Structure 1
């Protein structure tokens, strides 16, 4: 059974929307479309600060996608298999966002840091929650053990985030994600297009 949002978080969201409207700032709706090249997932060159490649941790060879009639929306299905035991210590996450401008990736002021990724993974207020809630609850083990399987069934790359503060985030973006434990660090990259409306 899905946990209801924490009352404090709900009131904070309502207060934020009220402040934005009273302050003359109109909330914006964002459309986020994951790029098909996200399936490549591995960082390259200077983005890769890890000591172990994500392909040594996760086998994503079974994951496929189909293209919807709008020719933008992709639906991913298949199994992601864990190839090694993940240490039971907290996993930290550092995500930095870059924008494609004039043929190069430039840093943006947007970043996320989580000291306990497993805890954040299940938080309904995190931006990745719409994807996580589509996974079977019985599979949401974190950190996972070797041979654990995450099953994707028609997971969409198309996401809508409504009533957010207006920030200059539209365009072609790249999120570089570093996950770390006491023993290892790996890097993943996600490509998205963001539209503000």
Structure 2
């Protein structure tokens, strides 16, 4: 009886799960944070995007070439990273249950189980240099093989997602005394979420 119940629950959970796609608002992909931490800078404070080639068709972002780091932090700093999804509801951005955070980004940037890896760092071809310098050494080249990104989330259970969402991305450098540096990086990726 318990086995039948478990199979039934698993089957229903699969039926109730849904897949979603985010259609970007900004063709440049990255937008400034609407409520940035004091002293923070946008994506250009982290990366020089001048050599990055991006194009977009209906649901795919095509990316190639490279970026170089511009963040003025110490090579010994620990980098914490976070992505928090927010939903626009009745004129206000509200937090959702969807977030990803790591207290030490550099130690997991090439970990295959991390979202950072699945959507970005697995496409970096000069892994040895990127792993050694991470985002901490200005001028470090992060060379990419051409890749495509679809902003998909799959197998989501619970309430139906709809409307405007944004991913708020923050990187924070933590010094050797465990104190955050004042030049936090904050940028957003905004779009409309549609059920597939």
By the TM > 0.5 criterion, same fold? yes
SS of alignment partner, residue 106 of structure 2 = helix
Maintained 8 Å contact 1:31/1:195: yes
Does residue 74 in structure 1 map to residue 61 in structure 2? Answer: yes
Maintained 8 Å contact 1:34/1:158: no
Distance 1:89 1:156 in 2: 31
Query: Of 171, 175, 178, which residue of structure 1 is paired with 2:167?
Result: 175
Describe the shift of the 1:50–1:169 C-alpha distance in structure 2 as closer, same or farther (beyond 3 A): farther
The aligned counterpart of 2:118 is: 130
Structure 1 position 48, deviation (Å):
0.7
TM-score computed with the length of structure 1 as normaliser: 0.70
Query: Of 127, 130, 134, which residue of structure 2 is paired with 1:140?
Result: 130
Q: Deviations over 1:8-46 (max 9, x none)?
A: xxxxxxxxxx8895383126352434626273635344x
Structure 1 position 78, deviation (Å):
3.1
Does residue 158 in structure 1 map to residue 172 in structure 2? Answer: no
Q: Which runs of 5+ in 2 are unaligned?
A: 1-5, 175-180
Count matched residues.
177
Maintained 8 Å contact 1:29/1:160: no
Distance 1:147 1:20 in 2: 55
TM-score computed with the length of structure 2 as normaliser: 0.70
Larger Cα-atom Rg: 2
Structure 1 position 180, deviation (Å):
1.1
Structure 1 position 96, deviation (Å):
2.1
Q: Deviations over 1:47-84 (max 9, x none)?
A: 2105241323321122232334xx33221223211124
Query: Of 9, 12, 17, which residue of structure 2 is paired with 1:28?
Result: 17
Maintained 8 Å contact 1:34/1:157: no
After superposition, the CA RMSD in angstroms is 3.1
